[in-house]
Amino acid sequence: MVLQGAQPLPAQAALPSYRIDLLDAAPAGFTFGPASMNDRGAIAGLATDNSTLQQQLALYRGGRFEFLGALDSLGGFSDLREVNNRGEVVGHVFRSEGVRPFIYSRGQLSLLPLPEDARGQARVLDINNAGQLFVGYSIDRDKDANDEWGAYVYDSGRYTLVSGGNYFGVDMNEKGRAVGDFFDESGDPMIYGANLFASGQFATLDSLKRPSDVPWQLLQTFAIDNRGRVLGLGSIADNEYRFFLATPVPEPGTLGLMLAGSTLLAAAHRRRRPR
């Protein structure tokens, strides 16, 4: 990975002007609170019945409201998180026995099963346009032990553990690659580390950097984009912290072209080889 420190901002182009369109009023008797928007302009939110205070999961798109289901049916107070480009809506619900993730997909609003080790505390962190969910969990230990955090990727009804122990999931891209942070509270000072999960493998970013980037200690992650680039915070000396952008080398698209080119060259060589 190539590491780049934060650079001074270049001269900025003039900002565009904006046309402001008001959302239509919610259906009579309801109040709508938007929470998330996808790339196609669909807005997910909560529609509250003003008389009963019952909450409905709702989508506003094309100038129309669609009620997707009563969140009260999930058995607790709900926190809506994201809507993807397929119109799938995810969040989590706070129930008496713990926190459960939910999803609206294919016309159905339902609770997701809990990961095996979640023990009643699982929250949706993200959903991508392929329908993969990034789900964080926590275990509340007794007063003599530290709490435990971890994360899973949920795909096609199956959970894959990203990391357990002391791990906070942060972000996931469209290819199911996820970033997060490890920490160890047992020592003084605490130990932090930025991590990557890709193709079923979990690794620290420190272990993936080039030898020339050794002085960096990569501490935290903030985001991962669809090229696999990771934005984070690192240390390059005692008490000297810098934001970084870690770029795969070669980048995934470049690597694919290189592999395809190698295959074509090998095939051409076989054709030219005398018999």
Domain boundaries defined on the chain = 24-112, 113-275
Residue 209 and residue 1: Cα distance in Å, rounded? 5
Summarize pLDDT for 57-81 with one digit per residue, the tens: 999 998 999 999 998 888 888 889 9
pTM across the whole model = 0.76
pLDDT at 12: 62
User: What's the CATH fold of domain 24-112?
Assistant: Thrombin, subunit H (2.40.10)
> Which among 82, 81, 75 has a CA at the least distance from the CA of 98?
75
Average pLDDT of the chain, as a whole number: 82
pLDDT at 174: 95
Summarize pLDDT for 215-252 with one digit per residue, the tens: 788 999 999 999 999 999 998 777 788 899 999 987 55
Summarize pLDDT for 127-148 with one digit per residue, the tens: 999 999 999 987 765 544 556 7
Bridge partners, residue 69, by sequence: 57
CA distances from 34 to 58, 81, 212, 217 (A): 9, 11, 47, 39
pLDDT confidence bin for 47, thresholds 50/70/90: very high
Summarize pLDDT for 163-186 with one digit per residue, the tens: 877 888 999 999 999 999 987 766
